[in-house]
């Protein structure tokens, strides 16, 4: 009997020690990652004033988009929050006005899962605004399970993260061209680097895996390169940006599969970049003077980084552009493309 009790006590003690060590290791790892981000995160040093300028930020009601919109408002810009949910957007608008003291913040409906909504948004902005200085294509989704289709019949994540960004941007370049200089900033991700052997014809195929997120972000990088080529004769410059790993809903919230939510949220909250930190590189590309010669390039931590292997393939950006135009030919009939 005594022997059994001793064995039981030993087992319980061992389990307790292992669990305690695992928790300790997780805490030490979280603190180490947090320190790493604190040390390596670079802050946009530019004090550029945006009074008199107009900026659009898509998906500005939360996450990195909110951080970017708040910064633009603090710099005095008129900020258009382009969001799909008007209630959430209105809440964000009031918070931004409150925090920045700039009342010139408006909400305009934009649902990137609908080409009709993109069309309406472009029409509203071009009718109501006399200028557009900054467009930040920030909104995106991740799909972990299965493959939803949009009401237009496309793989939802591809439409939201890439096709609609293509249409929206092309639809707004006419307005942006009126200024001497304007900026487009496209939010990408380090995940783009993990797409191997990308064939542009993959875009025609039906997919629906987590790989689609990486694929859409690679498309964003390639789109940025080709768009910059086509905008060379204009005052518009365009950049793709990896914001780093940021504590937002996309990583730690609504897209995380159920059973993992609590653990992932707990760990991530303590080790990732804050929204303000994650917004720094997009802000840098939008407001820093004198970086026009880097149009088409990719930025991380407020500096240009070397192109990685996939996007170095010289013909790929043009090929992707052609395939995208082919896929979107019906939608593009309404868009006046001058280049
Ligand atoms: N967080 C990171 O670690 C990380 C890392 C690399 C890249 N990024 C990129 O950074 C950008 C911002 O991400 P985040 O982390 O801030 O994400 P987030 O917190 O999930 O915010 C995404 C925003 O996009 C909006 N959105 C989603 N679907 C939309 C649609 N159909 N039409 C219009 N808006 C839509 C969301 O609106 P609702 O609130 O209405 O859903 C929300 O405002 C994304 O492009 C993402 O890929 C993020």
Provide φ and ψ at 276, rounded to 5°: -60, -40
How close is the Cα of 183 to the center of ligand 1, in Å?
A: 20
Residue 200 is predicted with a pLDDT of: 87
How close is the Cα of 140 to the center of ligand 1, in Å?
A: 4
Q: Once rounded to an integer, what is the mean pLDDT over residues 68-91?
A: 98
Q: Average pLDDT, whole number, for the chain?
A: 91
Is the pLDDT assigned to residue 206 strictly greater than 80?
Answer: no
In whole angstroms, give the CA distance from residue 326 to residue 126.
25
Tell me the pLDDT tens digit for each residue of 37-65.
778 889 999 999 999 999 999 999 999 99
Is the pLDDT assigned to residue 138 strictly greater than 90?
Answer: yes
Could you identify the atom of ligand 1 that is nearest to the CA of residue 113?
A: 31
Q: What angle do CA 105, 68, 180 make, to 5 degrees?
A: 75
Residues forming the active site: 213
User: In this predicted model, which residue has the larger pLDDT, 225 or 203?
Assistant: 225
For the chain, the distance separating the N- and C-terminal CA atoms, rounded to the nearest angstrom, is 86
Could you identify the atom of ligand 1 that is nearest to the CA of residue 85?
A: 40
Residue 311 is predicted with a pLDDT of: 85
Listing from the earlier edge strand, what are the strands of the sheet with 105-109? Answer: 105-109, 78-83, 54-58, 134-137, 182-187, 236-242, 298-300, 303-305
Q: Once rounded to an integer, what is the mean pLDDT over residues 306-313?
A: 86
Lowest mean pLDDT among 24-33, 161-170, 182-191, 239-248: 24-33
Q: Once rounded to an integer, what is the mean pLDDT over residues 279-287?
A: 98
Is the pLDDT assigned to residue 258 strictly greater than 70?
Answer: no
Is the pLDDT assigned to residue 103 strictly greater than 80?
Answer: yes
| Ligand 1 within 6 A of CB of 68 | no
Distance of CA 327 to CAs 92, 158, 159, Å? 35, 12, 11
Residue 339 is predicted with a pLDDT of: 61
| Ligand 1 within 6 A of CB of 256 | no
Is the pLDDT assigned to residue 304 strictly greater than 90?
Answer: yes
User: In this predicted model, which residue has the larger pLDDT, 224 or 312?
Assistant: 224
Torsion angle (degrees, nearest 10) of CA 234, 113, 54, 184: -30
Residue 208 is predicted with a pLDDT of: 59
| Ligand 1 within 6 A of CB of 251 | yes
| Ligand 1 within 6 A of CB of 100 | no
In whole angstroms, give the CA distance from residue 140 to residue 256.
15
| Ligand 1 within 6 A of CB of 189 | yes
153 contact partners, CB below 8 Å, separation of at least 6: none
Predicted confidence band at 252 (pLDDT cuts at 50, 70, 90)?
low
Residue 264 is predicted with a pLDDT of: 66
Predicted confidence band at 328 (pLDDT cuts at 50, 70, 90)?
very high
Domain parsing of the chain, residue ranges = 41-243+279-332
Q: Once rounded to an integer, what is the mean pLDDT over residues 196-212?
A: 77
User: In this predicted model, which residue has the larger pLDDT, 118 or 38?
Assistant: 118
Could you identify the atom of ligand 1 that is nearest to the CA of residue 59?
A: 43
Could you identify the atom of ligand 1 that is nearest to the CA of residue 213?
A: 47
How close is the Cα of 285 to the center of ligand 1, in Å?
A: 18
| Ligand 1 within 6 A of CB of 64 | yes
- Bridge partners of 55, per DSSP, are 79, 134
Q: Once rounded to an integer, what is the mean pLDDT over residues 294-320?
A: 93
Q: Which CATH architecture has domain 41-243+279-332?
A: 3-Layer(aba) Sandwich (3.40)
How close is the Cα of 139 to the center of ligand 1, in Å?
A: 4
Residue 337 is predicted with a pLDDT of: 61
Residue nearest to atom 21 of ligand 1 (CA): 63
């Amino acid at each position: 009997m005594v022997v059994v009790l001793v064995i039981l006590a030993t087992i319980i003690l061992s389990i307790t020690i292992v669990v305690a060590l695992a928790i300790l290791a997780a805490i030490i790892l979280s603190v180490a990652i947090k320190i790493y981000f604190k040390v390596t995160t670079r802050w946009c040093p530019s004090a550029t004033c945006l009074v008199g300028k107009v900026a659009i930020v898509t998906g500005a009601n939360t996450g990195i988009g909110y951080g970017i919109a708040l910064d633009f408002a603090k710099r005095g810009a008129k900020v258009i929050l382009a969001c799909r949910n008007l209630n959430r957007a209105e809440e964000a608008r009031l918070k931004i006005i409150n925090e920045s003291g700039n009342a010139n913040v408006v909400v305009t409906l934009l649902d990137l899962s609908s080409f009709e909504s993109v069309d309406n948004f472009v029409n509203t902005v071009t009718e109501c605004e006399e200028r557009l200085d900054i467009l930040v294509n920030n909104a995106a989704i991740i799909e972990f399970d299965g493959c939803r289709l949009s009401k237009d019949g496309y793989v939802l994540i591809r439409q939201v993260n890439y096709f609609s960004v293509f249409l929206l941007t092309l639809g707004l370049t006419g307005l942006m061209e009126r200024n001497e200089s304007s900026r487009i900033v496209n939010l990408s991700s380090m995940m783009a680097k993990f797409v191997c052997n990308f064939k542009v014809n993959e875009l025609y195929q039906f997919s629906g895996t987590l790989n689609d997120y990486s694929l859409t972000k690679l498309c964003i990088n390639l789109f940025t390169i080709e768009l910059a080529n086509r905008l060379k004769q204009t005052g518009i410059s365009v950049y793709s940006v990896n914001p780093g790993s940021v504590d937002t809903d996309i990583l730690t919230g609504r897209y995380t599969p159920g059973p993992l939510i609590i653990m992932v949220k707990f760990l991530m909250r303590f080790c990732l970049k804050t929204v303000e930190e994650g917004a720094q590189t997009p802000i840098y590309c939008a407001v820093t003077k004198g970086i026009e010669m880097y149009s088409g390039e990719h930025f991380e931590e407020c500096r240009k980084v070397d192109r990685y292997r996939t996007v170095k393939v010289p013909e790929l950006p043009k090929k992707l552009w052609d395939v995208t135009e082919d896929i979107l030919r019906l939608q593009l009939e309404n868009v006046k493309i001058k280049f």
